[in-house]
Amino acid sequence: MKRRVFFILMSMIAFAAIAQSIPKPTAELSKFTIKEITLRDVTFQFELTVSNPYPLALSFSGMTLDFSVEGSKVFSAANKGGFTVPAKGKKSNTFDVRLAYEDIYKLVQNYSTKEWLNTVIDGSLTIPLPKVPGVPATISFNYKLEKKIPAIKPEVAITDFTVTPPSAAEVSAALKKAGKKVDPEKARGAIANVLAGKKPAAPVIDPAELDLPLRIKFTIKIRNDARFPINFNSLGYELFINDESLVLGDSSAINQKGQDILITVTNTFSSKRLSTQVKRLFAEKKGNFRVTGKASLKLPDDISKQPIPLGFDERGSFSF
């Protein structure tokens, strides 16, 4: 009996020693950065690197990530970044996870008083292992990551909207180029009436038949109702009026006033863009806008040493 117990005990010890000597996969988060910020969300980028010591490929569905902001659990993401690691190989996979600001300010108290938000990400990864004697069915890894993100709760508006009619010389040149035999002064008056929201006394010419430069000026006003100072040196923009693109370009005429950033845009667009929807803007002195923008933010080095892309795609209505 004693021999039997001794044999079982020694077998267990030997089995444990063999199990300990079998190499195990490793998994590390080799990259964790803020990839992009918009006025509505933050995109984190992760890179997961897994080494496989086995002569069989390893496949897994990905990580589970729990996001907590200022102590409140905001969001969970499952099955992120899964891939297959070849036999006796090493492989990395990059994946993104987006965290919406709306989800944050619904839960975080006194959000409007905050400039930065402490964000903690608890990650877990479970990898099924090959059915090999001495090897467990799975291996698990846990991670804890921390990053500060700017507090943003935006309001976007279009203000100080004006369009300047073309000069008489510009109208004459456009009429000549289009082969239109119309009195330049009458044509200019008709175009000015359209831009003023008035109906021309007589149908002299449709401005959309000419290629006239119309000078436009407006301000994109971005207000942050939290304390982070949104600031950048240049903005690439595109303005849509009643769902039709009107102008696009770049502006560096940017002023910061408290929690407001004011981007002054001066540009031109062709009278060919005076479609029915755009003319309705001038006739009603109001309309719907969509404005998109691209810039970059420089955050403290402990958050990101490189500038982070800032983008937005905002809609609203305005009058002038």
Q: Are 293 and 309 contacting, i.e. CB atoms less than 8 angstroms apart?
A: no
Q: How confident is the model over 86-136, as pLDDT tens digits? A: 999 999 999 999 999 999 999 999 999 999 999 999 999 999 999 888 889
Average pLDDT, the chain: 92
- Strand ranges, E, within 129-253: 138-150, 154-164, 213-224, 235-241, 244-251
In whole angstroms, give the CA distance from residue 19 to residue 4: 22
User: How confident is the model at residue 205, as a pLDDT?
Assistant: 87
Q: Are 111 and 105 contacting, i.e. CB atoms less than 8 angstroms apart?
A: yes
Max Cα distance, the chain (Å) = 120
Is the predicted pLDDT of residue 263 greater than 70, yes or no? yes
Q: How confident is the model over 132-188, as pLDDT tens digits? A: 888 899 999 999 999 999 999 999 999 999 999 999 999 999 999 999 999 989 899
User: How confident is the model at residue 300, as a pLDDT?
Assistant: 97
Is the predicted pLDDT of residue 10 greater than 80, yes or no? no
Q: Which domains does the chain have, with CATH numbers?
A: 23-152 (2.60.40.1820), 155-319 (no CATH)
User: How confident is the model at residue 133, as a pLDDT?
Assistant: 83
Q: How confident is the model over 294-310, as pLDDT tens digits? A: 999 999 999 999 999 99
User: How confident is the model at residue 21, as a pLDDT?
Assistant: 61
